[in-house]
Amino acid sequence: MRKLKIGVIGAGARGEGFARELHAGTPRAELFGICDLDADRLKKFVDYCGLKGARTFTDPDRFFASKEMDAVMITTPDFTHRDVAVKALKAGKHIYLEKPMATTAEECRDILRAQKKTGRTAFVGFNMRAVTLYERLKQVVDSGVLGQIVHIEGLEQLSIAHSASFMRRFHRKRQNTGGLLNHKCSHDLDIILWFIGHQHKVKRIACFAGLNVFVPQKAPAKYCHECPADIFAACPYKDQAGFVFPVGGAQPIHHRKRETYGGDLCVYTEDKDTFDNWTLILEWDNGIRGNFNLQMFQSRGLRETRLWGELGTLQFANGALRTTLSRTGDVIEHHIPAASKGGHGGSDPRMIGRFVAAIEGKGPADSGLAEGLAATIVAQKALESALTGKVMSIAPEEYGI
Ligand SMILES: NC(=O)c1ccc[n+]([C@@H]2O[C@H](COP(=O)([O-])OP(=O)(O)OC[C@H]3O[C@@H](n4cnc5c(N)ncnc54)[C@H](O)[C@@H]3O)[C@@H](O)[C@H]2O)c1
């Protein structure tokens, strides 16, 4: 049986993993080709990833017009997602669209409308749902062991290098992402909304966020290469390897467009309007409340989750998943299945597998579009709350198209 041919648009950090995976060949799919607007970047990408024989395109229209291509993985920056996704759907391609779905709720709705019209398979890249830990957490939540759920808490903490990468690339500007909460944490918001269940809708949000550490007053120079040697030597933020293309490389390949792709723009420079810490409070229509925190500058990245219910608490912290029962104090340690092989804790190959299965009619065809909209609504309202100091409401109809 013919394998599906899948193209990748966006020859960057995220595209790297998918292009490599597809080029190596999966049981039911193979790489068709790569598209990027920037010819220089495209060439470096194909050479670095060893994608011998891959077709390359710098014109998305020609790329989408390719008859042999069945589907496309969209790994371009957030602000392009709506236009690229709608164009791909209209060209009859199935799409796997990286998170966040788009930068605003209205852009997400445009993608949903295009998917409804074309009937193509559409996935949002919420790969955390394919991480065995979160699958296990969801099972425990749904088992009812906590009784009536009252509160959920999520935390994402970023390492020094990861934090730095968000201060000097396209995502340092809100207009490119819809805000860092949307860009970085639409994953985490999706997981929180998934645990509570999408039949329940968040109806109120309050958010406090700010730039406390990466403030322009501390900038010794605009770029690292202009920085006084002693300050540069002591700066912990000069290294961002691992979070920019090439992900496997020791240091980013520097490009003409250093502020777009990642380079040595000073993390303190005023050329950004992002925040470096976020605290969010949520209330659902069924009375459940929750909070989420994004924090930076730490020795390592981590995520933690806690749920409180009438019958107990469930917590994932320090690598352990455990329930503590309220009435007896008994502690249940939950086994976390080993992560499968591959990028992002094994979730990347699993997501490609689910995408291919959906295209072949063996799984849900619309995986994550409504949820992508919900996560972006929450992130957008959170940003509005942080900027205005107001508690924001979400009307039920805002979750529709
Ligand atoms: N699921 C995850 O865990 C995860 C992780 C990292 C990034 N992402 C997402 O992946 C996307 C890309 O992030 P990245 O870090 O790889 O960015 P990147 O800057 O490394 O790469 C993006 C590439 O897209 C190209 N591009 C820009 N506009 C284009 C267009 N209209 N058509 C074709 N090519 C275009 C750029 O030239 C660049 O090469 C973002 O939306 C990000 O949120 C998801």
Question: What would the pLDDT profile of 374-385 be if each residue is shown by its tens digit?
Answer: 999 999 999 999
Higher local confidence (pLDDT), 26 or 78: 78
Decide whether any atom of ligand 1 lies within 6 Å of the 246 Cβ.
no
User: What average pLDDT does the structure give for the chain?
Assistant: 93
Is 305's pLDDT higher than 90?
yes
Q: How far is the CA of 299 from the centre of ligand 1 (A)?
A: 26
Task: Report the Cα 227 to chain-centroid distance in Å.
Answer: 32
Question: What would the pLDDT profile of 36-46 be if each residue is shown by its tens digit?
Answer: 999 988 998 99
- The pLDDT value given to residue 249: 59
Token duo for residue 183: 């860009």
Instruction: Take atom 36 of ligand 1 and give the residue whose Cα is closest.
Output: 10
- The pLDDT value given to residue 25: 85
- Tell me the pLDDT band of 339, cut-offs 50, 70 and 90: confident
Question: What would the pLDDT profile of 341-373 be if each residue is shown by its tens digit?
Answer: 888 888 999 999 999 999 999 988 888 999 999
- Side-by-side strand order, sheet with 392-393: 331-334, 320-325, 312-317, 302-309, 149-159, 289-298, 277-284, 202-210, 392-393
Decide whether any atom of ligand 1 lies within 6 Å of the 80 Cβ.
yes
Is 278's pLDDT higher than 50?
yes
- The pLDDT value given to residue 371: 96
Q: How far is the CA of 14 from the centre of ligand 1 (A)?
A: 6
Contacts of 53 (CB under 8 A, 6+ apart): none
Is 255's pLDDT higher than 50?
no
φ, ψ of residue 13 to 5 degrees: the values are -60, -45
Alpha-carbon dihedral of residues 41, 124, 174, 288, nearest 10 degrees? -160
Decide whether any atom of ligand 1 lies within 6 Å of the 76 Cβ.
yes
Amino acid at 295: Q
The predicted model gives 291-317 an average pLDDT of 97
Token duo for residue 155: 């935390």
The predicted model gives 141-163 an average pLDDT of 97
Tell which CATH classification among 3.40.50.300, 3.30.470.20, 3.40.30.10, 3.40.50.720 matches the domain 4-128+348-366: 3.40.50.720
Contact call for residues 348 and 359 (beta carbons, < 8 A): no
The predicted model gives 48-59 an average pLDDT of 93
% of the chain beyond a pLDDT of 90 = 82
The predicted model gives 311-316 an average pLDDT of 98
Is 241's pLDDT higher than 80?
no
Position of tokens 């906590």? 146
Give the angle 39-42-48 at the CA atoms, nearest 5°.
140
Question: What would the pLDDT profile of 80-93 be if each residue is shown by its tens digit?
Answer: 999 999 999 999 99
- The pLDDT value given to residue 256: 44
Report the nearest atom of ligand 1 relative to the CA of 81: 41
Instruction: Take atom 34 of ligand 1 and give the residue whose Cα is closest.
Output: 36
Instruction: Break the chain into its structural domains and give their ranges.
Output: 4-128+348-366, 132-214+273-342+371-399
> Coil, strand or helix: which one is 226?
helix
Contacts of 156 (CB under 8 A, 6+ apart): 184, 185, 188, 292, 293, 294, 295, 301, 302, 303
Assess if CATH 3.30.360.10 describes domain 132-214+273-342+371-399. yes
Position of tokens 């690292």? 224
- The pLDDT value given to residue 225: 84
Distance separating alpha carbons of residues 296 and 294, to the nearest angstrom: 7
Task: Report the Cα 132 to chain-centroid distance in Å.
Answer: 17
Question: What would the pLDDT profile of 107-132 be if each residue is shown by its tens digit?
Answer: 999 999 999 999 999 999 999 999 99
- Tell me the pLDDT band of 251, cut-offs 50, 70 and 90: low
The predicted model gives 136-161 an average pLDDT of 97
- Tell me the pLDDT band of 340, cut-offs 50, 70 and 90: confident
Which of 136, 175, 199 shows the shortest CA–CA distance to 273?
175
Distance separating alpha carbons of residues 373 and 105, to the nearest angstrom: 6
Distance separating alpha carbons of residues 203 and 396, to the nearest angstrom: 8
Indicate the pTM of the whole model.
0.96
Decide whether any atom of ligand 1 lies within 6 Å of the 176 Cβ.
no
Q: How far is the CA of 18 from the centre of ligand 1 (A)?
A: 12
Token duo for residue 116: 């409804």
Token duo for residue 13: 């950090």
Best of 75, 99, 166, 261 to mutate for ligand 1, by most ligand atoms within 8 A of CB? 75
